[in-house]
Structure 1
Amino acid sequence: MTYSICMTDGTRHGTAIATKAPAVGGLAPFLSPNGVVCTQSIVNVPLGPKAARLLDGEASIDDAIPTLLRKDDNASLRQIHGVDTWGNTSTFSGDECVDWFGSQTGSAGQTTYTVAGNMLEGEHVIEAVATEFASAVDSSKSLPECLLDALQAGEDAGGDKRAGTAQSAALKIYDPEDPRLAHDLRVDDHEDPVPELQRVYESACEDDEAWEDEFPGAILQRTL
């Protein structure tokens, strides 16, 4: 079971994901300065970094993902989606993914996003993720808050059709003007990882603020 959201506003890209398996942050979401992608279902992990490298070379996401899937003999088991800095989107769900599976794309203001999931209670799970994200963007919340709210909405809507909860969750954001600790967070194994990810985010924000108080004007450097 996995559900996730990928987004871009043309400068910043981000993703949030939850799954009924450990350590999803190291397996599924991948960032580039030019976009973001999530690979899920029966995961082919190399699809993620390969797609990110193609984005680095200024390939569009809707070229990168189909190109990689054509070389995957088990593409029917994959689910992969993402967005790029130019506003292009791509979603793919192989016909051997476990029901319910599917995806949708949308926009809110200057933000474009994709949402996808598999082994879910139903389509209403990704609809809840998309609706909450769009609402949060319109309310002018911070980008991490928008993504975390969307992730929680998916869990509240039922999430995994087997258990209703996840095991791991992750938040990743590329923001060239604000490279904070709070933009790359993981909960690898927890009985309720989505609220735990929110707690970790709040803790990381406190650490960011302490860093700024101690070293005014200093910028924490994180590179892709």
Structure 2
Amino acid sequence: MKRIFASSVLIILIFTLTLPGQTINGEPLTHTFSIVAIDQENGEMGVAVQSHWFSVGSIVAWAEAGVGVVATQSLVNVSFGPRGLELMKAGKSPQQALDELLSSDPGAAYRQVALLDAQGRVAAHTGDKCIADAGHIIGEGFSVQANMMLNKKVVPAMEKAFKNSKGPLAERLMAAMKAAQEAGGDIRGQQSAAIKIVKIKASGKPWEDTVLDLRVEDHPQAVAEMERILKVFRAYEHMNKGDLAIEKGDVQTALREYGAAEAMFPQNEEMKYWHAVSLANIGEIEASLPLFKEVFQKTPEYKELTRRIVPNGLLKVNQQQLEIILNVK
């Protein structure tokens, strides 16, 4: 009886230690697929990742403008992220940095890590104790890597998708992520994803040097959700440009940018609202009214906001025009 009880306890203990979301020796079991890559032409470098693990971006993806990017995964040694960046910042090549990280790590056989520096040099490691299917492919200015995948097709699919993709770096990273998932992806499914992109040359202004930093923390279709969020990000880039144009008094540019954002997300009330404001600001009150009407019907609080943006000059209308807008039927 005692032997049966002891065996049961051991089985429960082993099962508990290997449950998704648990750790071994305090290290996260972040099995995943990722890509690190550089776009020399547009001056950007970045990392993208997806895993059946909560908030994978906070553990796996690391980047610093002017230095490089790191993806640290499998049985994760999280310190490889900041330490890898520190070593490259000190002048080490990615391979030298990787060698130093692994040489001091007794768990190196369980690690998977990729480093890329601002020169486009790449190094990667897949330990021989990473869970199959596991591997990596290094290409010119990029590396794709994965472990605990459903099959052997995932990593080659990522390589092919990235090499054949066009456009901004974020969309190319997204293409690799989609290809990984379509090829089979993580054997456990999906949960979280992240894309982080920084500038190759640091300006000393971190708020400007981070080009993009997006995360999906917990979603059953994390890759598709990341693709949606990236599209939202692009739309809000137009919104930001519109806001800047308003600040400079360039109403025509604001109108164009807000219109572009609205076209990408026609159901977004705020985008529609600032489009209407821009029309009113160039004297197109009649053209603005259908937009104001739609916004007010869905979110009546925008009427009060409309009153508040007249005194500071964001909405340049007289009292009569304001009343027409507020009482649109």
- Provide TM-score, normalisation by structure 1: 0.87
Query: 1:9 pairs with 32, 39, 47, which one?
Result: 39
Give 3-state SS (helix, strand or coil) of 1:191's partner: coil
Higher strand share: 1
- Matched residue type, 2:120: G
Cα distance change on mapping 1:143 and 1:217 into 2, 3 Å: farther
| 2:135 alignment counterpart | 102
Aligned residues: 209
Change beyond 3 A, Cα 1:190–1:144: same
Q: Is residue 180–residue 208 contact of structure 1 (8 Å, CA) maintained in 2?
A: no
Tell me the secondary structure at the aligned position of residue 185 of structure 2. Answer: coil
Q: Tell me the secondary structure at the aligned position of residue 242 of structure 2.
A: helix
Q: Report the equivalent of 2:320.
A: none
Which residue pairs with 1:158 in the alignment? 184
Q: Which residue of 2 aligns with 1:66?
A: 99
Give the Cα separation in 2 of the matches to 1:173 and 1:204: 13
Confirm or deny: 8 A CA contact 1:129 1:150 kept in the other structure: yes
1:149 and 2:181 matched: no
Once the 2 structures are TM-superposed, how far is the Cα of residue 217 of structure 1 from its aligned partner?
Answer: 10
Q: 1:180 to 1:197 in 2, by over 3 A?
A: farther
Name the SS of the counterpart of 1:91 in structure 2.
Answer: strand
State the shift of 1:179 in Å: 4.4
SS in 1 for 2:69: strand
Equivalent residue for 1:135, pick from 139, 151, 164: 164
Per-residue deviation, 1:120: 0.7
Task: For residue 216 of structure 1, report the CA deviation from its aligned partner.
Answer: 3.1
2:38–2:45 contact (8 Å) kept in structure 1: yes
What CA deviation, in whole Å up to 9, does each residue of 1:17-59 have, x standing for no partner?
1011110110001112221110000011111111011122222
Given residue 75 of structure 1, which amino acid in structure 2 is its aligned partner?
A
Find the residue that maps to 1:216 and give its secondary structure. Answer: helix
**Equivalent in the alignment of 2:154:** 125
Q: Which amino acid aligns with 1:19?
A: S
Q: Does the Cα contact within 8 Å between 1:37 and 1:51 map onto a contact in 2?
A: yes
Report the structure number with the largest CA radius of gyration.
2
Please state how far the C-alpha of 1:182 moved relative to its aligned partner: 6.6
CA distance in 1, matches of 2:45, 2:91: 15
Among 38, 45, 55, the residue aligned to 2:78: 45
Aligned-residue offset at 1:81: 0.9
Deviation by residue 1:152-207 (Cα, 9 ceiling, x = unmatched): 1100000022x3x3110000101259948871100011111111011111112222
Q: Is the 8 A contact 2:36 2:114 kept in 1?
A: yes
Superposed displacement of residue 96, structure 1: 1.1
Which residue does the alignment assign to 1:183? Answer: 212
Q: Which structure 2 segments of 5+ residues have no match?
A: 1-30, 248-329
Name the amino acid aligned to 1:94.
G
RMSD of equivalent CA atoms: 2.0
Distance in structure 2 (CA, Å) of the matches to 1:46 and 1:68: 9
User: What pairs with 1:185-204 in structure 2 (closer than 5 Å)?
Assistant: 185-204=214-233
The Cα offsets for residues 80-138 of structure 1, whole Å up to 9 and x where unpaired, read as: 0121122321111111110111101113xxxx1001100012231011111001111xx
Would the aligned equivalents of 1:34 and 1:58 in 2 still touch at CA under 8 Å?
no
Q: 1:128 to 1:179 in 2, by over 3 A?
A: farther
Identity %: 31
- d(CA) in 1 for partners of 2:208, 2:153: 34
Q: Which runs of 4+ in 1 moved over 2 A?
A: 175-182
Preserved CA contact (<8 Å) 2:56 2:217 = yes
Residue 122 of structure 2, aligned match among 89, 95, 104: 89
User: Would the aligned equivalents of 2:37 and 2:46 in 1 still touch at CA under 8 Å?
Assistant: yes
Distance 1:120 1:92 in 2: 16
Would you say the 8 A contact 1:182–1:204 is kept in 2? no
